[in-house]
Structure 1
Amino acid sequence: MFTRHRRLRTTQGIRDLVKETVLNPNDFIYPIFVVEGENIKREIEALPEVYHYSLDNLEGVIKDVVEAKIKGVLLFGVPDEKDGIASSAFDENGIVQKAIRKIRELAPDLFIITDVCMCQYTDHGHCGVIENGIINNDETLEYLQKIALSHAKAGADMVAPSDMMDGRVMAIREILDENGFENVSILAYSAKYASAFYGPFREAAGSSPQFGDRKTYQMDPGNIRQAMREIEDDIIEGADIIMVKPALSYLDVIRWARDKFDHPIVAYNVSGEYSMVKAAGKMGLIDEKQIALEILTSIKRAGADIIITYFALDACKWLKDM
């Protein structure tokens, strides 16, 4: 006698009742790019339907986020001024610092996460201080501390170091605690790979390196055991949440991390993953909605608790209509 598995697929009702992985707005964090200037809502060419916002135009997108019941945003700043030490990144009147204060006024209960890195603030486009053509890991930590502390002072709930320097989680935890910000949490970009999927983001953030690449600090796509060591060290150093980035081509890394660690896991559904779906949908090759929801489901099914995605607003609308 064979088993009739299809009995649990006969209607939409029964399929919904036995669904093992269910998406909802609590799963998503929405990335937002903030820029200097006024009256700016400028679509990013490489990221369709994603925009650069000046502070005076944040109200609309924040209202959309709140109405979609998305609980958190991730802020990326695009400064006017750049130098070798990313000084605009830790300026108390820097673009991210001002955006934090603005969003806190607009939506007091919205959870604000800030990207802590140097790449979009440096004139060379790398994620650390350059010394003799090489990233100086330990000197970079001092600047990452300054950036994270400035974000905490501005009102960030969580800081997210994305630089991949060794020891940065410990350094940031120490500076936050020393200054009375014990309750500001850390989302560590723990397994961040040197990926070709970041291309559209680099246009959005103006963060392309002016020489070389980031392979000396971001991870080799072929390594997974190394990723587990990176994650473990970040947890030991004080990370509250860990991240795997990108998501779609690294579902196995998410799964390994889920099986090995009890910490909450974030997966970043990155710009290239988003833009490919948008492009194929525009060409009529795929059903954008169905593909996007399938991708997001696969990321959650692999073990991610939270997904950073440019699809967040659309996904919430689609899920509400289903």
Structure 2
Amino acid sequence: MTDIGVVLLVQAAVSVPWVLPRDPRLEPATLSAYLLTTLTVLPLLWRRRAPVRVLLAVMAAQSLYGLATDGPGQTLPYTGLVALYSVAAYAPAPARRLCGALTLAIVFPSVATAKEREFPAGTRQHYVNINSTVAGLLIEKVTGHSYEGEVSRRILAPLGLRDTSFPGSDPRIHGPHNHGYQRMKQADGTTALRDVSVWSATDGWAAGDIISTTADLERFLTALFRGRVVRGPLLEEMFTLPDPSVRDFVTGRAPAFSAGLSTWTLGGRQVWGKTGGRWGYNSGIGATRDLSRTLVYSINSTDAKAEGENALVMGVVSTVFGAPSAD
């Protein structure tokens, strides 16, 4: 493909935010912002001759865009990455490596720090999936191996969790399983249930890209609480909450998250565990610290990502452990 053809394709991608209907919460798109966005694409015309200079030009153009106060309210990570890929695709190997290094050193940190911190470290708690993603990246950086490989070698194999696996790009659940149904809005404005059993989980990665069974989850829960996964101070940290002065960022309540677990007071008992939801499914594990009572569940949830507690789940949980405390 010619350089001009690539420029036209990238320009088409850049134009999407100004062609498709916009989210009403975003600022209106304006001509000046569009022109600044276009400036990001123009250096691609010289990508074969000087790929590193082109990369720097793309970064400079994106910086100018970031200074525009009438843009769509965000930098251009997706168009910027398209541009970077286009530069690297035709660059010789040394320049490709330099492009990658510059991207890691400049582009990714600028995107990650585009917004101010929600709060100073150690003063609040805020559970978000990106934390698990960062943990997965740290595992790969420290070990030099894939996140999936390390979890399989260190946890799945030693505990005999033979029915637990990472699907990767495979969207299907293999073996016996219940179908998940999600309530979705149709084109005519009505809602209907859709079978979402075939659904790629790659967007979750370390925050949820894993398939298991209730039997394996029960085995994992028991092994974790008995110190077969982590031991000593590491295990105790999983059952230790921050100081009560550290409040939840969203609810303002007392801290409920430790290092990897959540805690609830149910029926006068302190219960530790973890819950999760994907489209059509809702699952969780929980137990008292002494394992005198345990619970593992997996249910259909037609609105798995909705705010608030799932009534069916709360019914099951209350039956096993008792009703939640008033707080």
- What's the TM-score, normalizing by structure 2? 0.27
Structure of higher RCO (CA pairs closer than 8 Å, 6+ residues apart) = 1
Q: Which structure is higher in strand share?
A: 1
- What's the TM-score, normalizing by structure 1? 0.27
